[in-house]
Structure 1
């Protein structure tokens, strides 16, 4: 195990959703491909935006007077396409093992999209789900993880964030959280975290009187 998490104990775990808990990549690609064709945006212009809120992506690509319509359209496309949205390896075991009051989701999705993907994937829904609609600034700003920690009633410095995207990891570090990265959507060399593993099936969660810890498996 990498030194960064070895022997550490946490009060809570905050999970990103897309690419971390659920595999929504095919649906995301389909929706954004359709949107890009409709808006004259190239595939190159969309590169490197994983984990970034849709509104932030659109703000870089669409003139001010068209942003509201563009955001409404991508939201419509994504909510309509839930085919193949399923739990990633290790997700169900993690959410069944960890105490429900010590788990949160912090996602760059809007509230309607997050709830739709949680239902479609049938993953257990934590009581604390923070979406881009709940914060002033989305990832890579720390706001989503700070809000999740507040919702759980814990110190961000005692939280472990699980992410698959550089923007999310940047946000977690800015919030003062420890980081676990999964290589489900991003090459390992681009993920700067305390520990990097293939997916959630590569770790075993342990819950004790002092808190939550994890060890690698396999």
Structure 2
């Protein structure tokens, strides 16, 4: 099913910047369970959570509860999610993709807070790169480009020479706004949605591609 891979396979990138949830790991059941529990506690209609995947929790909370409850409600969802890692699994090809890249050419940029990112990476045993940018590190999360710009900055590379790997339209928008090329994995959204978000290429998951990294950069190949 790969779409548009030809636009990426002829290029050499300075680094690959991965989203985490839905791209490297499947935390879907945990996310739904946690947010429904939070919504019940906060008196929020769970239907209002639709379409929020890939957006930092603080931004979601700010849309759903009054300002005087933002701090406590944001802390509450973080506490619920950090405490619940049951059922989180590594997505196909993710471990191999991370392991294939030199330390200075890979980063994770996630909408999770730092405690939540640490909990989920630890639960899966993924080889975490040295650079992990979280919602705790930026003032504005996806779809703002700040997470990917900061990841590139910490790696010391030009964002325009980076490949962003994402599963959500908000993340694709963030990558594009940062000037990066974008590869979408169709794990949480329909292919049509990812194409509409203007991802450069779409694959089912990371088992559909091979990443090769060396001193000259990173290259993407069809699996």
Give the shorter-chain TM-score range. over 0.9
Instruction: Output the CA distance in 1 between the equivalents of 2:130 and 2:205.
Output: 23
Corresponding position of 1:17 = 20
Corresponding position of 2:104 = 101
Q: So what's the TM-score if we normalise by structure 2? A: 0.94
Instruction: Output the CA distance in 2 between the equivalents of 1:22 and 1:50.
Output: 14
**1:209 offset after TM fit, Å?**
4.9
Corresponding position of 1:91 = 94
Instruction: Output the CA distance in 1 between the equivalents of 2:126 and 2:167.
Output: 18
Corresponding position of 2:202 = 196
Of residues 36, 44, 47, the one that matches 1:44 is 47
- Secondary structure of 1:37's counterpart equals helix
- 1:3-29 Cα deviation digits (max 9, x unpaired): 431301101000000010111111111
How many positions carry a matched residue from both structures? Answer: 217
Of residues 123, 129, 133, the one that matches 1:130 is 133
**1:194 offset after TM fit, Å?**
0.6
RMSD over aligned CA atoms reads 1.1
Of residues 110, 113, 118, the one that matches 1:115 is 118
Instruction: Output the CA distance in 2 between the equivalents of 1:31 and 1:163.
Output: 22
Say yes or no: does 1:206 pair with 2:216.
Answer: no
Corresponding position of 1:141 = 144
Determine if contact 2:149/2:159 at 8 Å carries over to the other structure: yes
Instruction: Output the CA distance in 1 between the equivalents of 2:131 and 2:150.
Output: 9
Instruction: Output the CA distance in 2 between the equivalents of 1:130 and 1:113.
Output: 12
Q: So what's the TM-score if we normalise by structure 1? A: 0.96
**1:42 offset after TM fit, Å?**
1.9
Of residues 73, 76, 80, the one that matches 1:77 is 80
Of residues 153, 156, 168, the one that matches 1:150 is 153
Instruction: Output the CA distance in 1 between the equivalents of 2:105 and 2:55.
Output: 25
Q: After TM superposition, which residue ranges in structure 1, 4 or more long, deviate above 6 angstroms?
A: none
